[in-house]
Chain A
Amino acid sequence: MKLLGKDIDGKELLGRIEERLRARGLHFEEEKPIRMDGPEPRVDPMSFNLHALEEHADPTRPMPLHTHRGGVGQAVVLAKWVFRKTCQVLINETLARQRVFNGHVRDAYAQLSAEVIRLREQVEALEPEPKERAPAPRRRRPKR
């Protein structure tokens, strides 16, 4: 562990703390290298959108049960659970056409985004100064 700050002597301060911990019979670990967070990686919008459309194409699949309310909120969660357990047949029947439609939207988006990626690559190959451009999207799915 390290203490960081321009206005303190981190080593000296930590040394004092270490002594007191030892006096209390507590073990003090060796120093480890400082862990620094880097920037979060870019999430490619087109692959994310395709993944999200795939994930949510079936409207008969329930979302995770959740409430932000205390008290009555818990009773509402229970009521939702009971509804899902007992009425899934009706939910499937009601949303059958929506399910088909969502599938078409997903497929149409997949075809269009593939075409956009292909065209971008062509444009990139034609442009003289690729350094000036925004980085090309990486074809990978976001970690879930």
Chain B
Amino acid sequence: MVVHQLVPTFVRGDATGQAAVNLKWLLRRLGVHSELYAADVSPDLHALVRPATHLRPRPEDLVLYHHGIASWLSGEWMHLGCRKGIVFHNVTPARLAAGTPLEEALVSGRAQLAAMAPHADVAIGVSELNALELREAGYRDVGVVPNVVEPERFGPSWADERMARRLAPNGGATVVSVGRVVPSKRVEDLLSLHAELLRLDPRARLVLVGGFDAGSRYYRGLRRQARRLDGVEWLGRVSHPELVAAYRAADVSVSMSEHEGFGVPLVEAMAAEVPVLAYAAAAVPQTLGGAGIAFDEKRFAALAELVRDVAGDGRLRGKVLRGQARRLRELSPEVAQAALAEALRPLLPARRARSTRRAPRVAFVVQRHGEVTGGAELLARMVATRLAKDWRITVVTTCSKDHLSWENDFPEGESRDGPLRVLRFPTIRGRDLRRFNALSRGVLGRKNDRVSEEHWVAEQGPLSPALLRHLSDAREYDGYVAFTYLYTTTAWGLPLIADRAILVPTAHDEPPLDLEIYRDVLRLPRALFCSTPEELALIDRRFPGHAPAHVVGAGVERHPARPDRFRKKHGLERPYLMYVGRVEKGKGVGELLEHHAALVRRYHDAPELVLAGAASMRAGGERVHALGRISEQDKHDGLAGALAAVVPSRYESLSLLALEAFAQGTPVLANGASDVLAGQVRRSGAGRTYGGAESFAQGVREVGEARAAMSRRAVAYARGHRWEKVVDAYREQMDRIVSEARR
């Protein structure tokens, strides 16, 4: 079963879209895959949210429609031939938008709500008030699942520095209010309160955050009203870090809204540790749950005094903040997840049946498989092949060969790869590298909301809804081994199967590892199998509280090799350095070429450089041999004869290339910026690290001078990496998972 979520309009910063993305996250934790669709969504978001016209649910699927204002989706939803549900975000009473173009759409939204009632299999209100209105409209078995706010995303380190500087304390009280500038939010009341506050505190500021229609009569009236007052800051729509900075710059958060179906900003303010003062309208008292301070009348002089008290009285402020912290726990994502599970209980699939098979059936989940260049994929294939003696293994993967384009190169469906059964699922969208890179610049290295992170993961791909449906639905596997934390197959797929899964994260110190979205990926599985102690230390630092982790790594065997055969085949006469892997900038090949060119310019006897692997960049130069993809035998022949193997990537979690070079008795020259490679070189004593052209040249010289000694140490180090140990670790962990599942 897949839960498809329908949203009328998906716009960044809009509460309904956020709620849908949050539900997708919670459903994932419940083992159910969810897809998002919207009637109106910008094409640059299509990786995350597909147009509603693409929706093709199966009869067993559930379509959850997020209802608010009137939308033609309501009619479409009623005619769907599958199970149907409503998530009700409330409709602003039409009286609060009288005389505006919204008025009729609001009444229409309520009429649609009632019309849909007999067609709904499940109904969810985001507050008790919404649940009450659902019942009033004719729905039965109504559940309450509060909107989710992740408090950690409102911490001090998430605040945008520039905005924090702009709103730095000026000695007066700062009031923030967050919400769209529409009549129901009663921004004019905030201005009236501010006018009273200015009488008590001439340096007081009112910070207004939220989108507005610059041409609307309402907004223009407010601007005229505000012109008479000092200290009013209209921020409009802001990014998530700017929003956090605005909250954190405030002494008090105030809501004058006359109607809230839930009131997400109330909870956001609590998460940002700002005392909340709110007019007790509609669902506001329920959302506050006794925290903050609610008021039932808008007496601005008294409220201005109250703002001064809350801003200036440390004891009062402390009491309010402690209460808000308690309320945040009551509204935590875990509580919402339990409420969602309860609301969907009649529709969720039954728990997996207990396995009685002698040989466990295990799925290896990996983004690509087969003739592909990639360390993680190669590791997955090597491990799976070795475990196939004891387990019945299915590789669950995509039809793609290229991780940059995600094009469907392999045929869809079932095939064999030696002892492995391979199930391939198509991708529905390629990767637009230009868009992805632009998005990466806006997301990586910054603090984001969940929508931005989910969007980044979606753009990275591979987008294969069929694969995720298979993971969500399949009952045939006793356990799972997932490879690489980074891609959707794991980021979205692993939480669906986490209770029976081992994750091989192949994580390295790269910007995506800072994204909060990966916290679940590293926390939920039964075990993490890291490649090196450095990888484990990195995960410890980044995600404390991760799943139990072990350093397992990979085994390595010494393949018979004939260096002379490789030299002759490729016309190599001088000593050479060898790199095997994807020839791309992200792997540090650009820097390697620069360092090698500098070496060639300085030394007449500089070694040649051999690059072997699929190329996505132009790789050439004096004494550079770009061979493209080579056979396994060629690789071992080449490594055995190399002066040193070069590992130029700064992002490595293991480096199979280094292990294979060691096995052939070949030293390694590695990028010292990678802790993992530096650790491998240090532990083996069979190589050198470099950080620039100078240390690269020095490394080449030292490796050349001490090659024989390093070669002996390399072979000894490789002997410590036996496959038997690795296979035993997998077997032991999976036995534990399978035996628990059988209980």
A contact set with B: CB distance below 8 Å: 1-8, 10, 13-14, 16-18, 20-21, 24, 26, 28-29, 32, 34-35, 37, 39-45, 48-49, 52, 55, 63-64, 66-71, 73-74, 77, 134-135, 137, 142-144
Contact = CB atoms under 8 A, between A and B. Distances in A.
Contacts of B221: none
Contacts of A41: 136
Contact of A2 (B108, B117, B214, B296): B296
B93 A40 contact: yes
Interface of B: 91, 93-95, 99-101, 103-104, 107-108, 110-115, 117-118, 129, 132-133, 136-140, 213-216, 220, 259, 280-282, 285, 288, 290-297, 299, 301-302, 305-306, 309, 316, 319-320, 322-323
Contacts of B214: 68-71, 73
A40 B132 CA distance: 9
A21 B305 contact: yes
Contacts of B103: 144
Contacts of B316: 8, 13
Contacts of B100: 66
A45 to B, nearest CB: 4
Contact of B138 (A1, A5, A35, A134): A134
A68 B212 CA distance: 8
A13 B290 contact: no
A108 B291 CA distance: 53
B61 to A, nearest CB: 24
Given A4-B290, A8-B316, A17-B306, 8 more contacts: A7-B291, A8-B320, A40-B93, A49-B111, A67-B213, A68-B213, A69-B214, A134-B117
A70 B214 CA distance: 5
A37 B282 contact: yes
Kindly list the 4 A-B residue pairs having the minimum CB-CB distance in the complex, ordered from nearest.
A70-B214, A7-B323, A68-B213, A6-B290
Contacts of B117: 134
B92 to A, nearest CB: 9
B107 A5 contact: no
B118 A134 contact: yes
Contacts of A5: 288, 290-294, 320, 323
Given A3-B295, A40-B91, A40-B133, A137 B309 contact: no
Contacts of B319: 7-8
A3 B111 contact: no
Contacts of B136: 39-42
Contact of A40 (B110, B280, B296): B110
Centre residue among B99, B296, B316 by max chain A CB count within 10 A: B296
A83 to B, nearest CB: 18
A1 B302 contact: yes
B182 to A, nearest CB: 11
Contacts of B133: 39-40
A142 B107 contact: yes
B216 A1 contact: no
Contact of A42 (B99, B114, B323): B114
Nearest to B285: A4
A32 B297 contact: yes
Contact of A1 (B93, B101, B285, B296): B296
18 contacts: A1-B295, A8-B320, A10-B293, A17-B302, A17-B309, A24-B301, A28-B302, A34-B296, A37-B129, A40-B136, A41-B136, A42-B110, A48-B111, A67-B216, A70-B215, A71-B215, A137-B114, A144-B94
Given A7-B291, A34-B296, A68-B213, A45 B132 contact: no
A21 B301 contact: yes
Contacts of A73: 214-215
